[in-house]
């Protein structure tokens, strides 16, 4: 292990890419999402299956990221692998993630670890997920076990990915409509029956009235566990932030921002840093705007607004932990990257404490309910052979990262 990589997360700008365990590893059979993808009815377009087979091919992925010019890698560890049954922790799986971390160090990548990127063990979902009264305690126990084994190898860590995702998806996809509620409930019933349970709860589709307070408690317990050591690294929280723009004199942009963020701004305040995750803006109109393959407006300038919001509202160092675009036209990805990075540079020039940029994503991967239709990756992955092929955007962003790293080292 090379401890200078831990210090790099504090002293040098981090340029990296981001991934999530379930989206790239494949065959995450003990997770709630794996089950939800494979029951009927389901909201998922297709199952994740082998995904990108990164569980086995992580050495290649880490090496590719380093070869392209990045100095950091944000990735998730999978709770469902580490604790497949309640209280049954797998030393072999913890060793696996230790090897991923060691591979990052060997290739000069500072690893930022995400404890929970939406997925949970199926046993946890079958007992009510974060709706259960003791859910925070269980997550804290998991975080403690992770910290004891992996803490010395981490450069930085975050507890929950997009902690406010349950709020955001309801606004963006109108999940409170009667039709959406019925479809979601039908999938939950199928999942519960498959587990022999009378309940089922998912982070992505959470009932925040029942789960959010417990999840905040879980975040706080996880921070305490990670900070207790061993290891010495900053711990943060990532928030899905939208640049909400009002249109007309009676707009409700402020109230919409409050609805999306909820209590998570206050929860992030005690952390060492906040992760800003931004893809677009939210506003009425405009008609005829360019749309990405994910249906978002093509608006990389939103990142500047959310960085400034986070700096003012939270007042902690900032990492852009996700930013990217779903597109089959890689020239538009390059244009998006350039415009987004212009916002980052302006924010830094204005004195904001922005310490890194992680692009979503390293690989074309499994995009949750949308399956494999949306391509966010800098690297193309053959769905049959798993062969990796860097896109022009990967070379472009990697060159920027390498040049920035050379300047910061002077």
Q: Where are the domains of the chain?
A: 4-408
Task: Determine the pLDDT at residue 407.
Answer: 75
Residue 2, phi then psi, degrees to nearest 5: -120, 105
- Note the pTM of the prediction, 2 decimals: 0.95
Task: Determine the pLDDT at residue 274.
Answer: 98
Task: Determine the pLDDT at residue 2.
Answer: 46
Those residues of the chain that have pLDDT short of 70 are 1-11, 249-250, 284-288, 409-410
Q: How far apart are the first and last CA of the chain?
A: 24
Rg (CA), the chain: 20
Q: Do 71 and 109 meet the contact criterion of CB atoms below 8 Å apart?
A: yes
Structure tokens at 273: 């840093």
Could you give the count of Cα atoms lying within 13 Å of 191 in the half-sphere of its Cβ?
31
How far apart are alpha carbons 35 and 194 in whole angstroms? Answer: 8
How far apart are alpha carbons 337 and 344 in whole angstroms? Answer: 11
93 assigned to active site: no
Task: Determine the pLDDT at residue 229.
Answer: 84
Task: Determine the pLDDT at residue 163.
Answer: 98
DSSP strands (E only) in 77-198: 110-116, 156-160
Could you give the count of Cα atoms lying within 13 Å of 207 in the half-sphere of its Cβ?
14
CATH number for domain 4-408, candidates 3.20.20.80, 3.50.30.30, 3.40.630.30, 1.10.3720.10: 3.20.20.80
Burial of 119 (0-12, 13-18, 19+ CB in 10 A): buried
Q: Do 335 and 377 meet the contact criterion of CB atoms below 8 Å apart?
A: no
| Catalytic, out of 93, 162, 212, 322 | 162
């Amino acid at each position: 292990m090379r401890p200078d990589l831990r210090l790099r997360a504090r002293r040098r700008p981090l340029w990296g890419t981001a991934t999530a365990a379930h989206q790239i590893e494949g065959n995450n059979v003990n997770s709630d999402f794996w089950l939800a993808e494979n029951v009927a009815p389901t909201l998922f377009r297709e199952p994740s299956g082998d995904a990108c087979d990164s569980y086995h091919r992580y050495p290649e992925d880490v090496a590719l990221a380093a070869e392209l010019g990045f100095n950091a890698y944000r990735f998730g560890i999978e709770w469902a692998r580490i604790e497949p049954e309640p209280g049954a922790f797998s030393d072999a799986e913890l060793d696996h993630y230790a090897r991923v971390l060691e591979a990052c160090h060997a290739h000069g990548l500072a690893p930022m670890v995400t404890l929970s990127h939406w997925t949970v063990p199926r046993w946890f979902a079958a007992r009510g997920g974060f709706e259960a009264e003791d859910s925070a305690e269980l997550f804290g126990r998991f975080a403690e076990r992770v910290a004891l084994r992996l803490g010395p190898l981490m450069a930085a860590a975050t507890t929950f990915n997009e902690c406010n995702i349950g709020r955001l998806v309801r606004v963006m996809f109108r999940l409170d409509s009667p039709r959406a509620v019925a479809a979601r409930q039908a999938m939950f019933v199928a999942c519960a029956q498959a587990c022999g349970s009378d309940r089922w709860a998912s982070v992505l589709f959470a009932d925040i009235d029942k789960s959010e307070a417990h999840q905040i408690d879980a975040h706080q317990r996880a921070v305490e566990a990670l900070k207790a050591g061993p290891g010495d690294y900053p711990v943060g929280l990532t928030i899905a932030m939208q640049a909400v723009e009002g249109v007309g004199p009676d707009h409700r942009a402020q109230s919409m921002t409050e609805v999306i963020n909820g209590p998570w701004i206050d929860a992030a305040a005690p952390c060492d840093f906040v992760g800003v995750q931004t893809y677009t803006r939210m506003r009425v109109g405009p008609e005829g705007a360019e749309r990405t393959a994910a249906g978002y407006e093509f608006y990389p300038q939103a990142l500047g607004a959310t960085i400034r919001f986070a700096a003012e509202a939270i007042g902690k160092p900032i990492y852009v932990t996700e930013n990217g675009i779903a597109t089959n036209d890689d020239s538009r990805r390059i244009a998006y990257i350039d415009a987004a990075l212009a916002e980052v540079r302006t924010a830094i020039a204005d004195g904001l404490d922005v310490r890194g940029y992680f692009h979503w994503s390293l690989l074309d991967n499994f995009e949750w309910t949308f399956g494999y239709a949306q391509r966010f990756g800098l690297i193309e992955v053959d769905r049959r052979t798993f062969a990796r092929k860097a896109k022009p955007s990967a070379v472009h962003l990697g060159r920027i990262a390498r040049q920035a790293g050379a300047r910061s080292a002077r």
